[in-house]
Amino acid sequence: DAGVTQSPTHLIKTRGQQVTLRCSPKSGHDTVSWYQQALGQGPQFIFQYYEEEERQRGNFPDRFSGHQFPNYSSELNVNALLLGDSALYLCASSSSRWWRERDTEAFFGQGTRLTVV
């Protein structure tokens, strides 16, 4: 049973460029959330996808966009990269059972380390 997989693991981009990060959720999970973790900080919620729709967005500009595919995998796109976008981007996989059950937790992928130069 594969866990949450993210690709690529590392990425170096130049300011102004665009980047796409990918996430495949754990088997049986249908909800994908994206988090940004800057160095020395806790992860910050970017947005969540369920049923191929963005359900909620955190305090991130429109340069951050996403998509979810019918197989539940997801992409995070960031346009017009800034130096401040350098961070570890984590994908969290969960089941929509969260809406019905208490004792479930999200599973995180290994993350993509994005460096903007």
Q: Using CB under 8 A as the criterion, which residues of the chain lie in contact with another protein when the complex forms?
A: 4, 31, 33, 35, 40-45, 48, 50, 55-56, 58, 88, 90, 92, 94, 98-99, 102-103, 105-111, 113
CA distance 100 to 1: 24
Cβ(33)–Cβ(48) below 8 Å: yes
Distance in Å, CB of 3 to another protein, minimum: 9
Least Å distance, CB 49 to another protein, is 10
Query: Which residue carries 């130096």 as its tokens?
Result: 83
- Check residue 84 and report its DSSP letter: G
Q: In the complex with another protein, which residue's Cβ is closer, 20 or 104?
A: 104
C-alpha 66/C-alpha 18 separation (Å) is 13
Give the nearest distance from C-beta 16 to another protein in angstroms.
27
